[in-house]
Structure 1
């Protein structure tokens, strides 16, 4: 498998966590979003949306991080990232969707660039924008984790919610978002981050990461 990603992409980070939790080997191909590398015509052939991640395998290309993780779950079901019963699976997907559908898309790089370039938003307004959407999403997740969490965000094993939560926490911390109001969110993230497979997916540990 070949994963097209970028070290600081939250969506790519999700897929790296899932691949690592399932102990699957993959080759990484980096596309620096800051320089517009994803717009290269050669990459557009692979992913017409010109976004990361994209996963190449067996002559096929999969895009969209949650679709990729669901495919991994179906093709490589152990260890499981989704529970077995339909009700619990729906809850897990909803919790993941809070992040992947309602928080992350509003704060990703291309949206922030558009706010600065097209709407002339300054950094104070950008920071308020980021905090608003992370805060609203984390407030909902806090309640959901209280209801459904255990040692991890859902139950006692790492799964799909953790694949989404860890990258979103990384983003919140990167933008200096206060997290005191979300103790269960923070605790679930800490539990997942303590796993070697999750730690290995951290942006700073990727081959294309900026030198520190």
Structure 2
């Protein structure tokens, strides 16, 4: 199928997700670092790979792919065995719902471009930009994780694939899913911005289960090429 190439930025939570998924599925790949701070994601050569000027982009199976959640679903569909999405319909819906809380509700509001813009607006209005950023992150990351903690605690149905929807070691049952792949990078971001996780015991327990797995540990930003 040819070489798999990940166009990556070490601190990007979306790239972090794809690194975890590739690791879980034992897919070897080569990393090409894309320095967002230097604006490499906006140069014409990179925009040919991803017209949005975002990371990650993944070259696999002869195709250039973008959007981390879509990439993870593609990997799950084309390389069966890991079960990043459960086989049973209601269980699969639950994993997608947990995933979307992070990838569609928390992450877009707190990404680099959005936060830079709101800090510029805060500075222009005479506010303390650093304080404004802290309050912003606390509201949207903290609030989003609080909702996720509640969702993890309330569902008690048994999935048709044999995994309980709560009470397992991970977001859904006893093996990592797409929801866990999205959760761990978001927790990295939360700590980076000093968002307290003290009120989220279920989330913190899931984090410990994930970080005991090499694919999660090896995908950590501190271990990535820059």
> Into which bin does the TM-score normalised by the smaller protein fall?
over 0.9
Task: Give distance in 1, aligned partners of 2:94 and 2:60.
Answer: 29
Partner of 1:173: 191
Spell out the pairing of 1:1-212 with structure 2 (5 A cutoff): 1-120=4-123, 122-146=129-153, 147=155, 148-149=165-166, 150-208=168-226
Q: Which runs of 5+ in 1 are unaligned?
A: none
Larger CA Rg, structure 1 vs 2: 2
How far did 1:119 drift? 4.2
Asked whether the 8 Å contact 2:122–2:132 carries over to 1, the reply is: no
Q: TM-score, normalised by structure 2?
A: 0.89
Q: TM-score, normalised by structure 1?
A: 0.95
Task: Give distance in 2, aligned partners of 1:186 and 1:34.
Answer: 30
How far did 1:166 drift? 0.3
Size of the aligned set, in residue pairs, is 208
Per-residue CA distance 1:173-196 (angstroms, 9 max, x = gap): 111111111110111111101111
How far did 1:63 drift? 0.5
Asked whether the 8 Å contact 2:119–2:132 carries over to 1, the reply is: no
Q: Which runs of 5+ in 2 are unaligned?
A: 156-164
SS in 2 for 1:61: strand
Task: Give distance in 1, aligned partners of 2:47 and 2:222.
Answer: 27
How far did 1:155 drift? 0.7
